[in-house]
Structure 1
Amino acid sequence: MNEDRTPHAWGKGRLLLLGLAILLIVVGPVILLQRLARDTQEAADAVIHTHEVEATVLGLALDVREMEASAMLIALGADHPLARERLKTGRESLPERFQNLARLTADNPEQLIRVGRLRELVNARVEVVDQLLLAPDAYRANVVAPLATRFPIRGLLDEILSDERALLEQRNSEATDQRRRMEWIRMIALGAQLLLLSLVLMSLGRQAARRLAAEKQTAQASQRALVVLDTVREPIVLLDGEQHIQMHNSAFAELYGIEKGHKVSSLDDLGTAWQDKVMRQRLDDVLARGRELWDYELQQETADGLRRTVLLNARRMPLPEGGDHAVLVTVSDISLQKTAQQEIAALNRQLEGKVEQVSEVNRELEAFSYSVSHDLRAPLRHVAGFSDKLGRHLGEDMDDKTRHYLEVIGGSARRMSQLIDDLLVYSRLGRGALRLQAVDMQSLVAEARAMLDAAELGEGRADRVEWRIAPLPIVLADENMMRQVWGNLLGNAVKYSSQRERAVIDVEHRRQEDGSHLFSVRDNGAGFDMAYAGKLFGVFQRLHKASDFPGTGIGLASVRRVLGRHGGRIWAESAPDQGATFFFTLPAALDAPPSREKDA
């Protein structure tokens, strides 16, 4: 899902970046051009401002000259009304001229200083003109001549005009630079817009190509989906809100006899197979309430005329074109499973009867074990006890033959008691539950060896047995049963090596390729003929005389039963008078495997 969203998110990001680029390239130059236009207008206004200052200064100079000229004409006797009018007009225009000039130069402190000085000089010259008009004869000779030299205004006017003209040149230069920048920005903006248009066209072309490729992939995916749907062997049908068939796969058509190329519009056209009212109502609930139908079991008569048991599963799903929903129904034919379940049920009933029989046999075995452990032991105790009492009763009068008979009777009773004990142990090994736990085989071997060494020590042969025990693992097993396995195998190795001057017993272990454990116990004792190896693990089966090697013949049978219950096995390799090696395996699995025991 994340892989599907990433290209979509990347496409949205690219569209957003494209929109930002359009905004920057289209709107940015417009804003910048507006600002440059404003700056250009300000430069033009500054030029106009300079011309206004120049016009005002020149107008002021003209007013002063006309006013002084008119006053001189009047003082010389040419009192003409036009001169009086010019003098009056010049005097009235001076305050307005200075006010305009102060306003126009308000942003230039140096110019304001010059304007102030000019005002003072002009006012002084106006006062001279007034004195001349009041006493023309008295001031004509003393005032008119030094007027231009005492109160000169030409220099200030030239300074004001030159400063304004310098500003005019600077502002004209700035205006020219602004126009040049505007032209460059227009060209750059035009180039950027052309580039943007090219990128937009390229992007639209790629988008169109991607859309066409996506539509092609969608069509291919749709075709693949249809092929997969037809390949599925489970019948599938898609129903709309009116339970009309929108589409189905080949397995559905084969099951309900829909001919190829024939369109079936409704479930009602499929005969009685889909007429179950409860099932139809459940399908309506799936579509109307969004419920899911799971493993609804139904009996249907299909196109081949057979009565089949099917499981229906239905789920609501939105249609790709949006808006409406549909129901996807899968049909699973479980007729064979139903038949198998019926057969299994019949077998289970038979098995229950067998189990009951086995339980009855086990109860009889329990009764037999009880009888063996109680009823048979009492006569044996009597035989052993009375033979012992008879020996004490006869005392010194007992001859050798009688003593031999009594020893035979006592030994046979003890041997019978041992046989009973071994049989009970063998019986319990087949019935008791396994108590699996982690068992340290090294400790069990050490325990069995200690008991055997103690027995040898009691017979005065403490150093007769040489033990060679390899490192042994920890396995999952029944500890008591494993103790009995090692006790029997090591005991047999010591017993059948008793006729050697020095017995050598090797205990080894290795892990097999399948993970199971392989143990071996090897001795240098009497050995046996491999032709009789099949009898070795049977009950009461012995390959040597009891007079040579005592025993009941049950120990190896018990070992075989224990290993079988653990899922392992045991076998032996030997030759007469060359010792014997007993091998046994234990599985590596934690769960106890099924028993491989084959009782004789």
Structure 2
Amino acid sequence: MRHVAAMRWRTGGLLLAVVVIVALPCMITRGGSRRSLAAGERVTRSAEVQALVYRIADQTHDSESAIQHLLADDPYGHAEAVAQSAEKTVPGLLDELRHAAADNPPLEEMVEQLSAVENGRLALLNQAVQRYLQHDQAGAEQALRDAGSLFRVDEIANKIAASAQQTLLARREDATRQSDDSRLVLTLTAAAQLLMLMIVVIVSERQIGRRLRAEIRERQAVQRSQMILQAVREPIALLDDHLRTLLVNTAFSELYGVPEESRADYLDDIGQGAWADEVLQQRLQDVLLRDRELWDFELTQRTVDGAERHVVINARRLQQPDSEDPALLLTVSDVTARAMVEQQVKELNHQLEGKVAQISDVNRELEAFSYSVSHDLRAPLRHITAFAQKLETHLGEQIDDTARHYLGVIRDASHRMAQLIEDLLVFSRLGRGALRLQAVDMRALVQEVCMLAESEVPERRIIWTIEPLPIVVGDENMLRTVWQNLIGNAVKYTGQREVAHIDVSVRQDAAGDYEFTVADDGAGFDMRYLDKLFGVFQRLHKASEFPGNGIGLANVRRIVMRHGGHVRAEGQPGHGARFHFTLSAIDPPSSGEPT
């Protein structure tokens, strides 16, 4: 729209320049010519007035002279005709004089006076001629004298000639001024024409320069577009309304064997029948006729290299700038690799389903094993404990110290076996039970566990350092088990310290997750055996030094891993240990209820 408005303004300016350069000088010249002609006509009329006055006077004097010759009896050959000529010619000359003086009212009045005097004088001259013809010499002479004395034509004629002379001079001066003015106007007009021509030339040069620069920019833009189009590795083609190629890029040419400079190739003839699919042809016709865009049409094609490719085709209708017929922009995406990956994913999913089924079978076997451990193994242990107690009662006072010691070992071993079974069942349930996620206040949980641990060793002195801890999302019972094991271990392994120091802290790592730490100054451990630390029934200290079954840290590791975190430890013999575990920093549900 802006370009059209600019074109209209430029056209209007050009028309105005043409008017100024051509039409205006023409009108000025015509006006000056008319004024010059009018001034010339007025000068000519003034000259005619003088000439007519002199002719009238001369004609009158000629008639009087001829009459005088007749009366003096000295006539010449045509004196009688000359004497009567004034009466015939002077009225016509007076009419011409009136016409010549019509544009000068004062002069016109004097002409009328001259006409009246001339008519009277002519009448007396005619009377003198008639009396002469009647041989009345005296009457003729008297009429001639009366004509000269009563009607003084020369005075009025001189006045008219003098007035006409003044008018002639004034009109000549006016004509001169008109001519000078015309020359000045023509000079100014020529200067204006030259200026307008210079302006038109300058503006035209600028416009041509702008147009050339615009054409250069447009040509460069087209070249860049062509470079981008040819550099794109996605096959692209531009088709006409009959599905014939107008333009293809390098990728399309390489994939379907179409020369880039080829034109008017039908799509279904390209690529050895790669585009002969009837459904695709119909969909492309719908895009052209109904302006429906084609999105992600999947097709399997055999290209010129003989390979089968899975492609995704997109198409949309475009309006060509130089034609009323629409065009079709066609893009092709080769998704063969993605299709192969999807096939592999399907196969892996099928394999995974088989593995899941196997794991389900294993889990059922584990549940059956847990049931067997829970019921079948506990019953013999109860029998061993019960019969050992009955045997001790049965022997009564007859039992000696050795027998009593043996029976005590049997009972302790039975209790220890029962505890090991219980710990295995707990470890198994931690891996199979569903998580009950909810908002957990870690500070309140730690304080609860610390109070319980301290109540079990009232004779010991423990200095606690507990930092402010956040609220996390997790299974409260399982997280309580984590703290019980870690804090319980810290209390247990600082048992040989008169004053134990146990610290509980938290920080956020680079990923934003919480890392909790339980540190103590107890017995510590050798880092060479770190890989055994979190194993089931793995212990780094003698049971006589520090009691336990060696399954607590295994439970900690399993619980933390089920919450998406990990566990690590640091230690040094005689200088304590530091246990770390991480949990995701997830905002708790607003209701605080289990999910």
TM range (shorter): 0.5 to 0.7
User: Using the alignment, how far apart are the partners of 1:303 and 1:219 within structure 2?
Assistant: 34
- Kept after mapping to 1: 8 A contact 2:505/2:518: yes
Name the counterpart of 2:492: 495
Deviation at 1:15, TM superposition (A): 8.0
State the SS of the aligned residue for 2:457.
Answer: helix
1:501-512 pair list within 5 angstroms: 501-512=498-509
Per-residue displacement from partner, 1:546-591 (whole Å, max 9, x unpaired)?
A: 2221111111111122222333322322232332222333355789
The root-mean-square deviation of aligned C-alpha atoms, in Å, is 3.8
**TM-score under structure 2 normalisation?**
0.62
The residue type equivalent to 1:550 in the other structure is P
- Kept after mapping to 2: 8 A contact 1:528/1:574: yes
Per-residue displacement from partner, 1:399-445 (whole Å, max 9, x unpaired)?
A: 43343333322322222222122111211222234444443322221
Q: Is 1:238 the counterpart of 2:203 in the alignment? A: no
User: Using the alignment, how far apart are the partners of 1:203 and 1:403 within structure 2?
Assistant: 127
State the SS of the aligned residue for 2:305.
Answer: coil
User: Using the alignment, how far apart are the partners of 1:434 and 1:467 within structure 2?
Assistant: 30
User: Using the alignment, how far apart are the partners of 2:424 and 2:376 within structure 1?
Assistant: 15
User: Using the alignment, how far apart are the partners of 2:452 and 2:517 within structure 1?
Assistant: 20
Name the counterpart of 1:254: 254
Deviation at 1:380, TM superposition (A): 2.3
Deviation at 1:362, TM superposition (A): 0.8
Q: Is 1:422 the counterpart of 2:415 in the alignment? A: no
Contiguous gaps of at least 5 residues in structure 2: 20-191, 589-595
Name the counterpart of 1:174: none
User: Using the alignment, how far apart are the partners of 1:574 and 1:221 within structure 2?
Assistant: 69
- Kept after mapping to 2: 8 A contact 1:465/1:504: yes
Deviation at 1:252, TM superposition (A): 0.2
Name the counterpart of 1:301: 302
User: Using the alignment, how far apart are the partners of 1:251 and 1:529 within structure 2?
Assistant: 64
User: Using the alignment, how far apart are the partners of 1:286 and 1:430 within structure 2?
Assistant: 57
State the SS of the aligned residue for 2:413.
Answer: helix
Name the counterpart of 1:182: none
Name the counterpart of 1:518: 515
Q: Is 1:532 the counterpart of 2:529 in the alignment? A: yes
1:430-469 pair list within 5 angstroms: 430-457=431-458, 461=459, 463-469=460-466
Please say which of residues 526-535 and 536-545 is displaced more in the overlay: 526-535
Name the counterpart of 2:409: 408
Pair 264,446 (structure 1): closer, same or farther in 2 beyond 3 Å: same
Name the counterpart of 1:88: none
User: Using the alignment, how far apart are the partners of 2:472 and 2:213 within structure 1?
Assistant: 63
State the SS of the aligned residue for 1:241.
Answer: coil
Per-residue displacement from partner, 1:86-124 (whole Å, max 9, x unpaired)?
A: xxxxxxxxxxxxxxxxxxxxxxxxxxxxxxxxxxxxxxx
Deviation at 1:491, TM superposition (A): 0.4
State the SS of the aligned residue for 2:411.
Answer: helix
Name the counterpart of 2:367: 366
User: Using the alignment, how far apart are the partners of 1:479 and 1:206 within structure 2?
Assistant: 82
Pair 563,286 (structure 1): closer, same or farther in 2 beyond 3 Å: same
User: Using the alignment, how far apart are the partners of 2:209 and 2:365 within structure 1?
Assistant: 87
Pair 262,325 (structure 1): closer, same or farther in 2 beyond 3 Å: closer
- Kept after mapping to 1: 8 A contact 2:241/2:326: yes
State the SS of the aligned residue for 1:467.
Answer: strand
Q: Is 1:541 the counterpart of 2:542 in the alignment? A: no
The residue type equivalent to 1:491 in the other structure is G
The residue type equivalent to 2:265 in the other structure is S
The residue type equivalent to 2:421 in the other structure is I
User: Using the alignment, how far apart are the partners of 2:264 and 2:255 within structure 1?
Assistant: 14
Name the counterpart of 1:550: 547
Per-residue displacement from partner, 1:185-239 (whole Å, max 9, x unpaired)?
A: xxxxxxx9x9999999988876665554443333222221111111111101111
**TM-score under structure 1 normalisation?**
0.62
User: Using the alignment, how far apart are the partners of 2:2 and 2:262 within structure 1?
Assistant: 44
- Kept after mapping to 2: 8 A contact 1:258/1:264: no
Pair 389,503 (structure 1): closer, same or farther in 2 beyond 3 Å: farther
Name the counterpart of 1:316: 317
- Kept after mapping to 2: 8 A contact 1:239/1:326: yes
Pair 589,233 (structure 1): closer, same or farther in 2 beyond 3 Å: farther
Deviation at 1:505, TM superposition (A): 1.0
- Kept after mapping to 2: 8 A contact 1:504/1:523: yes
The residue type equivalent to 1:314 in the other structure is A
Name the counterpart of 1:564: 561
Pair 586,300 (structure 1): closer, same or farther in 2 beyond 3 Å: same
Pair 200,466 (structure 1): closer, same or farther in 2 beyond 3 Å: farther
The residue type equivalent to 2:223 in the other structure is Q
The residue type equivalent to 1:242 in the other structure is H
- Identity, % of aligned pairs? 56
Name the counterpart of 2:104: none
1:191-270 pair list within 5 angstroms: 210-259=210-259, 261-263=261-263, 265-270=265-270
Deviation at 1:354, TM superposition (A): 1.6
Instruction: Please tell me whether Structure 1 or Structure 2 has the larger radius of gyration of its CA atoms.
Output: 2
Deviation at 1:288, TM superposition (A): 0.8
State the SS of the aligned residue for 1:297.
Answer: strand
User: Using the alignment, how far apart are the partners of 1:272 and 1:14 within structure 2?
Assistant: 50
Pair 385,248 (structure 1): closer, same or farther in 2 beyond 3 Å: same
User: Using the alignment, how far apart are the partners of 2:481 and 2:3 within structure 1?
Assistant: 73
